[in-house]
Structure 1
Amino acid sequence: MPAGSSPKRERQYEHIKDSVKERGASDKRAEEIAARTVNKERARAGESKTASRSSTHDISASRRGGLRSHRGSGGPTYEQLYNQARQRNVKGRSGMNKEQLKEALGA
């Protein structure tokens, strides 16, 4: 956790880390997932100095987890794939659907 984090975010981090460890993940993986989730929530709440567009405009981590519970990960969203394709200068990306973007990116 970044220095100066609120007690609420510290509790949230520990709760997520413990939950992930209970599901059988390693300590390192649990810490990574907890940190990413809390940092995204901090960005959405305006508590961080910088934030990516996907952190502020994408579905919240808590909502996404509820939507995907017991069904596995739905993978990256269309917007996330599109942004990755834009970074890699994939030609014709604006006319592609999610499956075509996955194929073009080799995902």
Structure 2
Amino acid sequence: MPAGSSSKRERQYEHIKDSAKERGASEGRAEEMAARTVNKERARSGEAKSASRSSTKGKSPSQRGGERSRGSSSSGGSGPTRDQLYEEAKKKGIEGRSTMNKDQLAKALGH
């Protein structure tokens, strides 16, 4: 934490770091995640001396709700799941569907 940080930010940093470690992050990664989050919050609230535009504009991490941190599937993260595509292929009688991945199923179905 930067020198002169408030006790609130110190508590926030420790909470985020501990939470990340509980989820399996390494000590270094947990510290990095906590520092980045706290620094962004400091910038948003005007506590930081300088801040990038991206730190002060847009949604806060709590408003964002993990939008950018979610994993994506092989087809860009949207649309039907592989299982849904498989069931559609099954109904249409597409052969070889059991060995196809999501992209192959989508192509075979014309998606």
Instruction: Name 1:45's counterpart in structure 2.
Output: 45
- Provide Cα deviations, 1:4-61, integer angstroms capped at 9, x if missing partner: 1000000000000011111100000000000000000000000010010000002112
Instruction: Name 2:70's counterpart in structure 1.
Output: 72
- Which runs of 4 or more aligned residues in structure 1 lie more than 6 Å from their structure 2 counterparts after TM superposition? none
Distance in 2 (CA, whole Å) between partners of 1:36 and 1:73 is 20
Instruction: Name 1:9's counterpart in structure 2.
Output: 9
Distance in 1 (CA, whole Å) between partners of 2:17 and 2:49 is 24
CA offset at residue 73 of structure 1? 5.1
Q: How much identity, in percent, do the aligned residues show?
A: 72
CA offset at residue 62 of structure 1? 1.8
TM-score (norm 2): 0.60
CA offset at residue 67 of structure 1? 4.8
Indicate the structure with greater helix content: 1
Amino acid at match of 2:37: T
- Which structure: larger Rg? 2
TM-score (norm 1): 0.62
